[in-house]
A and B are shown apart, each in its own frame.
Chain A
């Protein structure tokens, strides 16, 4: 009844390539069973990423972006998390049905992840170099000396100055930006095909943010990786992403090519997000916001989950859940009035 129509393959990418996708998330459903009730955190998320492209997953806190990533990586805390449906296909094989060992081998070598806070994601008792070299020793069976050489190369690739000298430093001796670089080096050490970056720049200050995003974009191009960039920062997305998927209350509400999305958003939520970016040329104006709060995931309102906050809401929005439908080449929107939105003015 409230199903999003996955069968339509509506979320076809801008590249329009046929099957044989690198990584596909297909109608994924995750809920958290807590003492207070069941929170439906992900309600049928479908997206994919191909080699050499960057998909940005955009959404506010609690929209389910990170939980989707955690489910892909298999690092979701269970309990309370439960995957109740859907598939995560890597090279066409459903990872959720794989054995623990099979999945473990994909981690790091097939799909790797960058965490938000690099300081807490690096083991404080080992040197940065050791933690990178460890992967080569364990996964590639290299000798200590070879592993060290490769680790220094990796540190060099992420543009850590004096990589050789920094090899024996501990995480706390690195600055915030350096730590994130080291984290990137660690994630890319085994040449993964897909890199999931979960808000990689949130913990950094603005100037460093730009450097890290440039670095990520450059590495992604060089290695022709598929990258899933999870963020709530529209500014970050514009430069780096090829496609954008906007999430709200555990659903994809819009998916589009980055230019289309910025030019003509096809969902009122996306429109609201774009309007709330502060602009330098409109000084002295009040900051525009989206009124209201994201819904309580234990009690998602009937109909379109965005309807209580939507300026365009009609009676139909309170009754029918809008499916994610294709509304043009490589773009999809889950709004009853998507056509009107795109075609206005």
Chain B
């Protein structure tokens, strides 16, 4: 416009200033001039448009061609099938099964609430599940897919697919989902999978992490071996409309399945042990005495990794949180307990090394005077030598000799045999417990070591804390005299653990005494294996968590009851397997050693072991998984609507569990501030906690004898891989 005026004004202004010299001729001239200028302006616009178009089409052609291609072509990553996690015999502990699933992309939803309601109605989802999805959507990052449901059948999938044109941002797809055949039995060991969180995507900007349907390891071995299990995503290039409708496939590349991880775990044994724990809260560890292979690391009660992998539901989470048996805690690694009398054989080894002859005796008069104070034994044992001290678990003997050689030496032996140690294992975390000694006490509490500390520690009480894994390692090292290290991943190289400098005589002596605990005049007579050719040796332990004045350890509030412990190995003469059983608040060792007995029976004679379990599970109301499912159904029906949702990040859940486990361990140590007077019973046991009672919803007849066959029931759906 400017050019127009500047061209014109000089010509026009002169006449108008001079006055109204306007006639037909000047108007005609003005018209011609101005029409000419307008024409010129139109040409100008035309040239501008042509130039602009040439610029777009030639100079920026490359850029816009790319933009057009990226509009047209959509690259979809196909989540790779995850590598299997297998037991030592190649049976899957974690596999994949083909299924149909549906995700939503939050940023593409026009009306999230309405869409979720529609999908919920279509798939008949539970109201709690719908509420969970909505709350998850609120906190979700726009681009990352949120799982709505998985494991759909074909009819549901088809019903949803038909309605897709009206549902922007809803992605039904065929894929593979993680499947754990033995479910809760391997929950703590294997962990579970879930969609990557925002933080995980920040750390690893791999586009596969935000691909709908792709899940990564969230806990346990799934997390530890994430990179190895992940595999290589496949890809599909498709032509899509602006609305997201796929017109045709351009090319596609198959995914490459992740590498498998082979564990030392014996799948059937793991499942058996987990189920055998029954209504109690505890853990069972079994090690191979030649290689250190961990055959079983069961921690119960547990969560169902299948259900966690679908997303942790509010009701499910609340139920697990409220259970005082802490089903979210992996007790094998993060349960710390006073080892109680189970350390006595190991302490005896320390005495032997300090030059105490096994034949030396003391007199137990229902206790022993140490310094100027009398400390009770749990019973009056009369004259006691080393063997009797072990099989009768005489406390006085240990008070006396620990005081005599000094607890430093005992602690040294304890640490050498694995107490207070961490092991090289592919686990997210493990607690190392405490072997108390004067230095440690001074450091921690700024107090001097007192004689009663030696007394407490000599019988595995007081500040002493150990995890079930450490107890199993101690048991295996003591039984073999070899520095066995636990291992979890099976590889070809057979470890050759170095010997301790134990004499064969010493080892034989301790083995014999421990055998007598079970097979002789010892404290665990009912622990004898129901087998003719194999004998089990062991040591009972009852760990007090509060002083005698608070509780008798067997009745009263569950959390005040004694822990029941048992370390064992079998066969007695040439140990092949060793292990430990710890039952939290089981009321005493009587709760622990029958489990060890049945687990070892199963090891040598699976049928006999299974029979024992079957009859027990009939009383309990089904297998562990069946009881968990029933409890959940009852809980969701009763409380489902009013529960608080779980933390947004899965990491928070387990951080919280770990923090609580540390606090629990600290609390256990509080008892060490005074002398812990032993219980006056040999191997007591209490009743399971009220939490464990399964609601009788009538489902319990559903074949509790679902045996953990020698190969765990394989993936059930078609196309599993």
Tell me, yes or no, whether A binds B.
Answer: no
> Interface residues, chain B, CB within 8 Å of chain A?
none
